[in-house]
Amino acid sequence: MNIPATILAQLRQSQRMVVVTGGGLSAESGVASFRQAMVGEWANYDVRDLATPQAFARSPKTVWQWYDFRRRQIATAQPNPAHHALVDLEQHVSEFLLITLAIDGLHWQAGSRDLVELNGCVQRVRCVENGHLGDWDEEGSIPPRCPRCGSLFRPDVVLLGEGFARTHVLRARTAVEQCDTILFIGELSTADPVAQFPFMARRAGATVITVNRDDSMFAVTADYHIKARASDCVSELVRIITSGTGAV
């Protein structure tokens, strides 16, 4: 990596930073993608039978068991060095927001707290009627019912065909529109509103930086692209930013 001095200076001086991550960073921790996880008995299912509101309405037990299977798979993964480095970056920057499309909860596990999980988190459940949050119940009915209102619990993730929570989108968009630096780390989905973030940040005068070993739409729109695996370089990049010394 040979980051231009102007880019490095912007990173070090940033007071309002947004970082965006997704399934690419999760994959570097060994988290299988949705389709990669469809093995064994789940290989015979269609995604429409496992991850849509209609599927949950037809067979809540099947959807619950699928996401419980996903949760157990993900439980074997651990945050990688990039996850931990972003915790240090959060502590360093005055106004910081981490926006992730991942559902694995690894950012939270690593210690990130200024965090928006656009797709939710498979480690949590919420009730259908009122959105009361809860934990996965290993015993009892499948799916269990909310002890507060009696409605069924469902995984606290965004199913296909559902939109992101408006509060999450508003918080993410506001941070992007006000940031002075935005980093896109790892392979990312180009779904809206995330696909619009580079353009929104540019209109705000922010510097756009991507970290990904492959080219992408985000790299094309960036002021600078670091072509490397996030887990290989983000911790060193953050060390240089937070120490204020050295070169990349």
Model pLDDT, residue 244: 73
Determine if residue 160 is left, alpha or beta; phi over 0 gives left, psi from -120 to 50 gives alpha, anything else beta: beta
152 shares a domain with 53:
yes
Same domain, residue pair 99 and 221? yes
Does residue 154 carry a pLDDT above 90?
Answer: yes
Q: What is the CATH number of the domain that holds 58?
A: 3.30.1600.10
Confidence of residue 3 (pLDDT cuts 50, 70, 90): confident
Query: Which residue's structure tokens are 């949590």?
Result: 124
CATH classification of the domain holding 92? 3.40.50.1220
Same domain, yes or no: 20 and 106: yes
Is 55 within a domain? yes
Q: Cβ distance 88 to 110 under 8 Å?
A: no
Please tell me whether residues 107 and 144 are part of one structural domain: no
Do 86 and 152 lie in one domain? The reply is: no
Does a structural domain hold residue 202? Answer: yes
Q: Which residue has the tokens 């930013």?
A: 241
The token pair that represents 91 in the structure block:
């502590």
Q: Which residues contact 93 (CB under 8 A, 6 or more apart)?
A: 14, 15, 16, 17
Q: What is the pLDDT of residue 216?
A: 86
Task: Kindly state whether residue 248 falls inside one of the protein's structural domains.
Answer: no
Same domain, yes or no: 83 and 51: no
Q: What pLDDT, in 10s, does the model give residues 180-210?
A: 999 999 999 888 999 999 999 999 999 999 9
pLDDT at 245 over 90: no
181 shares its domain with 68: no
Per-residue pLDDT band for 248 (boundaries 50, 70, 90) equals: very low
* Cβ partners under 8 Å of residue 32, min gap 6: 73
Q: Is 161 left (phi over 0), alpha (psi -120 to 50) or beta?
A: left
Q: Which domain does 86 fall in, by range?
A: 5-31+79-119+164-243
Asked whether residue 142 is domain-assigned, the answer is: yes
> Is the same domain home to 84 and 113?
yes
**In this structure, are 151 and 44 located in the same domain?**
yes
- Number of compact structural domains in the chain: 2
Q: Range with the lowest mean pLDDT among 63-72, 132-141, 217-226?
A: 132-141
At residue 41, the pLDDT reads 95
Same domain, 175 and 57: no
The answer to whether residues 219 and 115 belong to one domain is yes
User: Roughly what angle, to the nearest 10 degrees, separates helices 5-13 and 230-243?
Assistant: 70
Average pLDDT for 76-84: 97
Residues 106 and 191 in one domain: yes
